[in-house]
A = this chain, B = another copy of it.
Amino acid sequence: MPELFTVVPPDEALKRLFSHIRPGVGTQNVKVNLALGRITAEDTFAPADLPAFSRSTMDGYAVKAADTYGASEAIPAYLKVVGEIPMGKPAGLTLRRGQVAKVHTGGMLAEGADAVVMVENTQVVDETTIEVVRPVAPGENVLHVGDDVKKGHLLLSARHLLRPQDIGGLMGLGITEIAVSSRPRVAILSTGDELVPPDGEVTPGKVRDINTYSLSALTLQAGAIPLSFGLVGDSYDELREAAVRGMEQADMLVISAGSSVSTRDLTAQVISSLGKPGVLVHGVSIRPGKPTILASVEGKPAIGLPGNPVSALVIFDLFVVPTIYRLAGCTTPPLRPSVEARLTHNLASVTGREDYVPVKLETNPEGLLAVPIFGESNLISTMMRADGMARVPLDKGGLSAGETVTVRLF
């Protein structure tokens, strides 16, 4: 009667899933200022040069560089100020030999000028004359047309996750709309005869559903849309009916199964019945979360999570989140923030299994400490008290107090 899994290491498990799923969830055009965190659907090329005119990168004087050659504190170059270049307007000036124009950072270069002398390297002699005490080379302190972005060049490639600087840069080039992957829809099924909704009555034997809400929150964090299908009882027919609807309406199915062997078997049976190739992985070498199911149904991912709220969160984070990004076309999902800290206690594990242990982080004079929260590590309250999960790598039989551990911040 003991469960016999062929447990698969986490990396191998995800690779197996990815080799069977079909990325692509459709695309849509969105306003760039609303596109933070979205994944680009196509390459974007610069429609114009940035800057569109040669600009000064300093406060100072637009000059002909040759007029400054040999200038020094001892023998300054005396040059004639023929005007001041207004911000946001054409320079409206042409320099002849020996002439300069006052210019501000970002101002346009005067016609005939090829460099800018920083104001710090000048002295005002009178209203129309300055001394230049250091020479400049042609191009010095000048941003030429297209120096930032050249017209026609690749600005952002497809499959790129849009960050604040990308939003700014697109707007800076006048691109106000962009094609992005649609947000993947994730059907989340919480199963178990014992579950009631959070606002339901908890009669003896019943517990409130946790996973629908914690997993929906993780789904939103990953830029996807959680579709809740309510609570599903522990019967094959009921679960299968909900799973079929989930597969129809969403791009991915996640079943948070009950924790008993029988309900886990039920999940595997239902997933197997949905289509080919079906279950790819049943059992991963991770604690908590060993009885995880990874499946593909005609190219759509279906994932069975353990019912325990902590296992469900850990496994969702390790397998569902990367799959969401994969569906949206992004092959380099953002990293979960993590820190290195010094363990305060030994952590037991076994070689060939990756362990995640809830820890509190404390700062002491020597640096960050990771204090394992012992006792029932698989309780939701433990995870609420924790700052993150310390990772005992696959190839370690445990970690000793004093060793450095990576803590994934949750």
Contact = CB atoms under 8 A, between A and B. Distances in A.
Interface of A: 1-2, 32-33, 36, 48, 50-53, 55, 59, 86-91, 104-108, 119-120, 143, 147-149, 155-156, 163-169, 171-176, 192-195, 198-199, 202-218, 220-221, 234, 258-263, 307, 309-310, 313, 334-340, 376, 379-381, 383-384, 409-410
Contact of A199 (B2, B176, B206): B176
A220 B36 contact: yes
Given A59-B262, A107-B194, A147-B379, 8 more contacts: A1-B120, A53-B205, A90-B205, A104-B263, A105-B260, A163-B217, A167-B217, A172-B380
25 contacts: A1-B120, A2-B119, A48-B202, A86-B205, A88-B206, A90-B203, A106-B194, A106-B260, A106-B307, A107-B205, A143-B376, A147-B379, A148-B376, A148-B380, A163-B217, A167-B214, A167-B217, A168-B214, A168-B313, A169-B309, A169-B380, A169-B384, A171-B213, A172-B198, A172-B380
Nearest to A36: B217
Given A155-B381, A165-B313, A165-B380, A108 B204 contact: yes
Contact of A221 (B104, B164, B166): B164
A87 to B, nearest CB: 4
A51 B207 contact: yes
Contacts of A89: 193, 204-205
A211 to B, nearest CB: 7
A310 B194 CA distance: 54
Contacts of A335: 337, 339, 409
A148 to B, nearest CB: 4
Among A87, A210, A258: residue with most chain B CB under 10 A? A87
Contact of A260 (B59, B217, B379): B59
Given A194-B87, A309-B172, A165 B208 contact: no
B199 A164 contact: no
Contacts of A221: 36, 164
B168 A87 contact: no
A167 to B, nearest CB: 5
A50 B381 contact: yes
B205 A384 contact: no
Nearest to A262: B104
Contacts of A217: 33, 36, 163-164, 167-168
B337 A88 contact: no
A214 to B, nearest CB: 3
A155 B384 CA distance: 8
Contacts of A120: 1-2
A258 B105 contact: yes
Nearest to A340: B340
B88 A208 contact: no
Contacts of A204: 52-53, 89-91, 108
Contacts of A53: 204-205
Nearest to A52: B202
Nearest to A208: B172
Contacts of A309: 165, 168-169, 172
A214 B164 contact: yes
Contacts of A194: 87-88, 106-107
A337 to B, nearest CB: 4
A173 B210 CA distance: 9
Contacts of A166: 384
Given A2-B120, A174-B199, A204-B53, A33 B210 contact: no
A58 to B, nearest CB: 9
Contacts of A220: 36
A213 to B, nearest CB: 4
Contacts of A381: 50, 148-149, 155, 169
A168 B410 contact: no
